[in-house]
Amino acid sequence: MNAYKKLYEPLIGFRIVGFRTEEDEDDPSNPWIIFEVQRGDEKLDLVVSQDPEGNGGGFVFIEDHKK
């Protein structure tokens, strides 16, 4: 789990400021989901993939916060 923490913890403090999708050339029925995030002047695209290799777009679940 430390690898995930190291990878995603730097996102703390960013705000979602936009959203878009981009067509996957290999599978147009499975678009890339992209959240545009910003912290101060720093902007990033948070791209949701089905795996770490980027083999296609993914899916994001929105759930109630678990305490």
Q: Which amino acid is at 39?
A: R
DSSP-H helix ranges across 1-67: 2-8
Q: Do residues 33 and 8 touch, judged by C-beta distance below 8 A?
A: no
30, 58, 15, 42: CA torsion to nearest 10: -80
**Confidence class for position 15, pLDDT limits 50, 70, 90:** very high
| Amino acid (one-letter) located at 63 | E
pLDDT, one tens digit per residue, over 23-36 is 998 888 889 999 99
Q: What is the pTM of this model?
A: 0.85
